[in-house]
Amino acid sequence: MRIDSHFHLWRPARGDYGWLTPAAGGLYRDHEPDEFAPLLAAHGIDAAILVQAAPSAAETEFLLAHAELHPWIAGVVGWTDMAAGDAPARIAALAGTPKLLGLRPMLQDLSDPAWILDDRIRPALQAMARHSLVFDALVRAAQLPAIRVLAARHPDLSIVLDHFGKPQIGDAPGSAWMDAISALADAPNVAVKFSGLLTESPAGADATTLAPFFDHVVRRFGAGRMIWGSDWPILTMAGTYADWLAISHALLAPFGSGARKAILGANAARIYKI
């Protein structure tokens, strides 16, 4: 099974996407299943994981409703208020929803890079581990050390790092990002999404541009802990679905068929328990 582990749907009129304004250009419109499903079919992708884009319980319900209507949506990575006193109960209720696979606080938007390590959050993280939910880590490179501490504190929590931790992609990987990735890879409960890289890159980026970053991540995490995703429709700010697949296949070309199948679907199925 080939799985796109990371895509979004939204309707701006719902009103809970604080970052999604008319300044976002072509992203500031409805993005619906009927627009995305043909891309999957055209490229031989069997299923996809729908990921939250707003820090609200209402959006998670909106995404779960889509997932129930469309069998090709393998599941949802949603949101809940992890600092709330009743967070464990909320998480237990969400875990009872068949297509809820994980949760994602929008850490990249928080001013405190170590917010996730606050003692108030610990009960929510323990509840996630107890209910076998995946923690998607949406962070910027400077927040990677906090995720390494998180992984050590909660060894039973499955963590997936989104978008390689959003490195600044230019001529060469920065040493701070490389060191942080290496440290994070030492935690066996962490995997990484091979996604979201074109929008972190200069215009015209290709496989050659991304190769030093990809090579470092796969060298440290291995093919068994890497998961492919598109980050559609945010991807469209920098290229098409076909563009990203072509770049991905170019980077994966040196791998054997087993490793390619793992990265392009089997790892997501295992880690998210699809």
Tokens of 139: 């962070």
60 in helix, strand or coil? helix
In the numeric block, the tokens 């942080």 are attached to 180
Compute the C-alpha angle 163/208/44, nearest 5°: 60
What are the extents of the domains in the chain?
3-271
**Whole-model pTM?**
0.97
Taking a C-beta distance cutoff of 8 angstroms, is the pair 40, 229 a contact?
Answer: no
pLDDT reading at 22 higher than 90? yes
Q: How far apart are CA 157 and CA 188, in angstroms?
A: 10
pLDDT digits (tens, 9 = 90+) for 220-271: 999 999 999 999 999 999 999 999 999 999 999 999 999 999 999 999 999 9
pLDDT reading at 213 higher than 90? yes
CATH (one of 1.10.10.60, 3.20.20.140, 3.40.630.30, 2.40.50.140) for 3-271: 3.20.20.140
